[in-house]
Structure 1
């Protein structure tokens, strides 16, 4: 211990010292949330920690309020403090784990830094995990609100994992949020702290109450970022169908049900309008669509494609509509700026699901929707 300018400091020497950090006065166990590699727990430590917690609770030390953000408020600039529920933990590669967190809110959409033609050579990923989660597991997830994927730095994995339990609400301090191909993810580092929360905690009750309200309100299944209403560049004839999220679509156990969704269209294959139809004249376009809950492929095919593209407009007109749909910036003359980042608008579309005849793969098709531009 040393004194500098009247303040007391604890000096850590890597060669000889060890340390461990514990939850403060609200802590209930004696597991450190961070410790040095040399640290060895002793039985008498528990008595010391309990005494320090009692002293802190009885003292007049003023707690500095900590601001917790919802996933709706995350950004790439700051390290954030969040309150989330742990939905799942899995190994995605050797010695690499991914944690799935959720708080019932919609993470903000990101601009797409890709040219349309890039999709042919390097397709946008549908998810961040190398192998998509099983349908049985997806059925256990909430269908409203963003599920944030989290990775953990190797040097702090051991201490962080002891605070993460599936089904547990937690406070997470100092989360680093990043974006990969338009998809949000977080990183837990050595500066991250985690605190378990009981279901009776006011923050947990508020999050759960907000989520329950979203489930009861028909319009609340629309993405938060699409309010007050999606773009009018598409029209749907399934307005009698209630809104659904893409996670609703993915996890619905039956097929051929019709869903009314609000999505962003972030990619298309083929990307040239001249290639939208097969030699026989049939439309065959695969779009990549996303909302705060998921990203999926949706096909405009056959008669449904005819309706979506409103028959057979000229190539110039079809390209103009496509650019609007995909968020391509355009000049006054209607020329697209292909090297500029894209921000696709939120649009309505109706989707129906079916299985490929040759496999058990579930696919989505666009139906009862028209691109009017």
Structure 2
């Protein structure tokens, strides 16, 4: 295409046939990739654009520049980009546009309607032209009523994730915060429960290296926790330092988002994801069927008889424990427990016991001869510490049975693997059963009720 014909923007369905030619394109940004900076070399980013002629898969556009500041800084997915003199290429059957820092140019325009047709960012070589205005207005109108069909993309629910996979998610952003110096984390939710993970930590190390309650180094504030859903797992997403300043403004609390290529793993028995420069964020209208599907599924769950039971304990709990508290006490999740408005309260919970301190039966009795231990409880929503003291321990272990019997009961709770010879396999990962507990919350300092909230187990007995 000659310079004098720059204003003649090709439709995307025509551009895919112009391999090894320079073309000019205008499109809506469907997807943004994360940025990558190479020391001593160029910086790179990628996005995908669509128009009315090529509105499903879209065309990828790869950028390179002398610095990250010269790359397109997308304000919002759905904005419009004008591209001049980009080279059409093909890789593995996929046509894409390559932005060359020596002769290509771009300009970015907001997606919203209005008379203001000024770019909010433009490269040095870009020149505004009068015909651009009409094209931008037309594309805005088309996109306003656009519905994306993505049957070819497989999106995974949180209940389906497996360790080591790279997955695509449709999730709601609940919160984003800086957890350490220049390290950020996003908290996301889709209404389902992540599967319980095997616990690999050694019980004997609980004193020096206790199993963490959270992946973040501090407990979130009461106000933030109270804004979280009380049912359904909250997945922590760790944001790679190389991309955080380019992706944070896309992660707005309360908004649903599509994330492509999120790597998931288990850390200390807790699920987490990692956002890297391979991750892509995709356009998501408010009425997207995937959002409505997840909201409808969650609504169905909340209409069930026991909506707060963990998904993975069905059809019922293990039966390892039995309770003396009134069965009419409704089930509560640990997020319910953490955020309940009153400090002193009673709860009926279904949890797993993922750690105990001390973990040896001979160490459970204090010098006074009374029981004393700390259990780490988890369900799909949270982890907490709960204590067993004195008469509550007598109830839990059914008196003061022989040491071997107490150890067997404790091992039941913790999911300790026992060999055919009846010996504990200390190297095997643990998969604790789902058990019922009656929890009591209380405070140590009446002047600091939230900060001093504690939990103890009562009216619960280990069966057998």
Question: Quick one: distance in 1 between partners of 2:416 and 2:20?
Answer: 56
**Alignment partner of 1:134 is 2:225:** no
1:370 corresponds to which residue? 461
Q: Aligned-pair distance for 1:53? A: 9.8
Where does structure 1 lack aligned partners over 5 or more consecutive residues? Answer: 1-5, 57-61
| Deviations 1:163-205 (CA, angstroms, capped at 9, x unpaired) | 2111000111110001110001111111211124333222111
**Alignment partner of 1:287 is 2:390:** no
Question: Quick one: distance in 2 between partners of 1:69 and 1:189?
Answer: 18
Question: Quick one: distance in 2 between partners of 1:330 and 1:194?
Answer: 46
Inter-CA distance 303–162: structure 2 relative to 1 (3 Å threshold): same
What SS does the corresponding residue of 1:131 show, helix, strand or coil? Answer: coil
1:87 corresponds to which residue? 174
Question: Quick one: distance in 2 between partners of 1:88 and 1:63?
Answer: 27
Question: Quick one: distance in 1 between partners of 2:282 and 2:210?
Answer: 38
2:317 corresponds to which residue? 230
Inter-CA distance 333–20: structure 2 relative to 1 (3 Å threshold): closer
| Deviations 1:75-103 (CA, angstroms, capped at 9, x unpaired) | 12321011100000111111111111011
| Deviations 1:1-38 (CA, angstroms, capped at 9, x unpaired) | xxxxx994799xx9689765145357631379xx9997
Inter-CA distance 245–252: structure 2 relative to 1 (3 Å threshold): same
2:188 corresponds to which residue? 101
* C-alpha contact 1:163 1:195 (8 A) present in aligned 2: no
TM-score (norm 1): 0.87
Inter-CA distance 271–196: structure 2 relative to 1 (3 Å threshold): same
* C-alpha contact 1:18 1:37 (8 A) present in aligned 2: no
The 5 Å alignment of 1:15-94 reads 20-25=46-51, 28-30=78-80, 41-42=106-107, 43=119, 65-94=152-181
Inter-CA distance 49–195: structure 2 relative to 1 (3 Å threshold): farther
Point out the structure with the larger strand share: 2
Question: Quick one: distance in 2 between partners of 1:282 and 1:31?
Answer: 71
CA RMSD of aligned residues (A): 3.3
Question: Quick one: distance in 2 between partners of 1:159 and 1:167?
Answer: 19
| Deviations 1:244-283 (CA, angstroms, capped at 9, x unpaired) | 1000000001023211111110110111111111111211
2:87 corresponds to which residue? none
Q: How many residue pairs end up in the alignment?
A: 362
Choose which of 402, 414, 419 in structure 2 pairs with 1:326.
414
The 5 Å alignment of 1:233-272 reads 233-238=320-325, 239-272=327-360
Q: Aligned-pair distance for 1:156? A: 2.3
TM-score (norm 2): 0.71
Inter-CA distance 63–97: structure 2 relative to 1 (3 Å threshold): closer
Q: Which has the larger radius of gyration?
A: 2
Where does structure 2 lack aligned partners over 5 or more consecutive residues? Answer: 1-16, 23-37, 56-76, 83-97, 108-118, 120-127, 144-148
Q: Which has the higher contact order (CA 8 A, sep 6+)?
A: 1
What SS does the corresponding residue of 1:217 show, helix, strand or coil? Answer: coil
* C-alpha contact 2:344 2:443 (8 A) present in aligned 1: no
